[in-house]
């Protein structure tokens, strides 16, 4: 096995490449875009802007 410091160094190098939220962003973009959901959201926004 490798000494702990070498393993830590490798992990540290990989972590530097990580951009927080990157995987979540990819997940959200890959979600199916359902027209029904978008229409419902649009109606909710319109209704709240008329009452508020």
User: What are the boundaries of each domain within the chain?
Assistant: 4-51
Return the pLDDT at 18.
79
Return the pLDDT at 21.
82
Return the pLDDT at 1.
61
In tens, the pLDDT along 3-37 reads: 788 889 998 998 888 788 878 888 888 887 766 56
Rounded to the nearest 5 degrees, what angle is found at the Cα of 47, between the Cα atoms of 24 and 40?
45
Return the pLDDT at 52.
53
Rounded to the nearest 5 degrees, what angle is found at the Cα of 8, between the Cα atoms of 6 and 9?
65
- Tokens 């973009």 -> residue: 29
Whole-prediction pTM = 0.33
Return the pLDDT at 41.
64
């Amino acid at each position: 096995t490798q000494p702990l410091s070498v393993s830590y160094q490798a992990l540290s190098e990989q972590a530097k490449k990580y951009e927080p939220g990157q995987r979540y962003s990819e997940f959200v973009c890959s979600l199916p875009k359902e027209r029904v959901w978008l229409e419902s959201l649009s109606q909710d926004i319109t209704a709240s802007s008329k009452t508020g």
